A = this chain, B = another copy of it.
Amino acid sequence: MVTIQDVARAAGVSPATVSRVFNGGNVTAARAESVRQAAAELGFAPNRLARSLRKQQSSVIGLIIPDIENPFFTSLARGVEDAAQRTGMSVVLCNSDEDVEKERRYIDIVMGEQMAGVIVAAASRDRTDLSPLMARGMPVVAVDRRPHDADVDAVMVDNQHGGEVATRHLLRAGYQRVACITGPAGASTSEERLAGYRSALRGELGNDSGDPARAASYIRHADFRVEGGRAAMQELLALPEPPDAVFVANNLMTVGALQALREAGQAPPGVGVLSFGDVPWASLVRPSLTTVELPSYDLGRTAAELLLQRMAGSAALLQTVVLRTTLKPRESTAGPSQA
């Protein structure tokens, strides 16, 4: 490896001078030029490890997401990246795979590599532990999911409100038995979307919301994946009185639910389907899917901006930014009579 020493020797100066050339110190033009030339000839690239070790900071920020195959998170990642690039930072992506253990390992790496900051979409509300990061004073921003006890900046989606609007939309379209497939019990997004669903039921149906046992049986917790959504939908369809509409709390599970529906010989809008979060290629799906659109890109962008503020030390108080969702009514919730 070619080091700053080699360059210094080649240019006939001290290592300190070479460093100054690259970091903007006071060096006479002629000398600077000869250093630059020597560096180019030798193919010198500063060792970022040594640099970060010495400066106690790096220009890399970590982004930990739970599912790299979910377009929601890749779009979010793009938002983070674009915002970071604008200030010369680079982003490295860590896929925790909804696994708290893997996530812990990546958190160790983020700390160990002395990254400048980290944006986390937590794998679990209760079991994700950000405290080591906090203890090190590392800038942290939570995105999409807020870990239970962490005092960090956060960028969220108005899950409950979105869930409420979605469910109300189904009810008003004329569906009578609206079910809900939500995510794992541990996740904040699951719970909030479910809370929105419940609140809409209460609001629209009043107190005569019927059999509470039946109401409970219409709620399913799955894993935010395609297979989980499919299994949950199969269970719902097997009920003695199956639902005539379903509010699915994320995009991947919606795909699974649609598969299960098709296998059972049914289809929207006969059974209403509403997805929380965009299904990519939604434009190609027939009937087109009603969705609650999430500002995934902006979620990422905002999180990155917050992190950069925090890193610059300009943000004093903790902030929580909540972004709005938008209901996009399409064919899949046209109403039970439109089957």
Residues of A within 8 A of B (CB): 1, 43, 45-53, 60, 68-69, 71, 74-75, 77-78, 81, 85, 90-95, 97, 102, 105-106, 108-109, 111-114, 132, 135-136, 255, 258-259, 279-281, 283-286
Q: Across the interface, do A113 and B69 meet the contact criterion of CB distance under 8 Å?
A: no
Q: Across the interface, do A93 and B92 meet the contact criterion of CB distance under 8 Å?
A: yes
Docked Cα-Cα span, A50 to B52, in Å, equals 9
Q: Across the interface, do B1 and A136 meet the contact criterion of CB distance under 8 Å?
A: yes
Task: Name A90's contact: one of B47, B48, B90, B94 (CB within 8 Å).
Answer: B94
Task: Name A77's contact: one of B71, B95, B136 (CB within 8 Å).
Answer: B95
Q: Across the interface, do A69 and B74 meet the contact criterion of CB distance under 8 Å?
A: yes
Q: Across the interface, do A112 and B74 meet the contact criterion of CB distance under 8 Å?
A: no
The 3 closest A-B CB pairs, nearest first, are: A48-B112, A92-B92, A93-B93
Contacts of A102 in B (CB 8 A): 85
Docked Cα-Cα span, A325 to B50, in Å, equals 44
Docked Cα-Cα span, A45 to B284, in Å, equals 49
Q: How far is the CB of A103 from chain B (nearest CB, A)?
A: 12
Q: How far is the CB of A333 from chain B (nearest CB, A)?
A: 16
Q: Across the interface, do A281 and B280 meet the contact criterion of CB distance under 8 Å?
A: yes
**Chain B, Cβ-Cβ closest to A287:** B286
In the complex with contacts A92-B92, A92-B93, A281-B255, A113-B49 CB distance below 8 A: yes
Q: How far is the CB of A15 from chain B (nearest CB, A)?
A: 16
Contacts of A285 in B (CB 8 A): 281, 284-286
Further contacts, 7 of them, CB under 8 A, given A60-B109, A68-B78, A68-B93: A49-B53, A53-B53, A69-B74, A69-B75, A71-B71, A93-B93, A285-B285
Docked Cα-Cα span, A285 to B45, in Å, equals 49
**Chain B, Cβ-Cβ closest to A107:** B45
Would you list 30 pairs from A and B whose C-beta atoms are within 8 A, ordered by A residue?
A: A1-B136, A43-B132, A43-B135, A45-B111, A45-B112, A46-B112, A48-B112, A48-B113, A49-B112, A49-B114, A51-B112, A60-B113, A68-B68, A68-B74, A68-B77, A68-B93, A69-B78, A74-B74, A81-B95, A90-B94, A90-B109, A91-B94, A93-B93, A93-B95, A255-B281, A259-B283, A279-B281, A279-B284, A280-B281, A284-B284
Docked Cα-Cα span, A112 to B55, in Å, equals 14
Contacts of A279 in B (CB 8 A): 281, 284
Q: How far is the CB of A192 from chain B (nearest CB, A)?
A: 26
Q: How far is the CB of A201 from chain B (nearest CB, A)?
A: 28
Q: How far is the CB of A198 from chain B (nearest CB, A)?
A: 29
Q: How far is the CB of A129 from chain B (nearest CB, A)?
A: 12
Q: How far is the CB of A273 from chain B (nearest CB, A)?
A: 11
Docked Cα-Cα span, A71 to B279, in Å, equals 13
**Chain B, Cβ-Cβ closest to A114:** B49
Q: Across the interface, do B283 and A286 meet the contact criterion of CB distance under 8 Å?
A: no
Docked Cα-Cα span, A77 to B69, in Å, equals 9
Docked Cα-Cα span, A318 to B51, in Å, equals 33
Task: Name A94's contact: one of B49, B92, B112, B258 (CB within 8 Å).
Answer: B92
Docked Cα-Cα span, A255 to B279, in Å, equals 13
Q: How far is the CB of A227 from chain B (nearest CB, A)?
A: 13
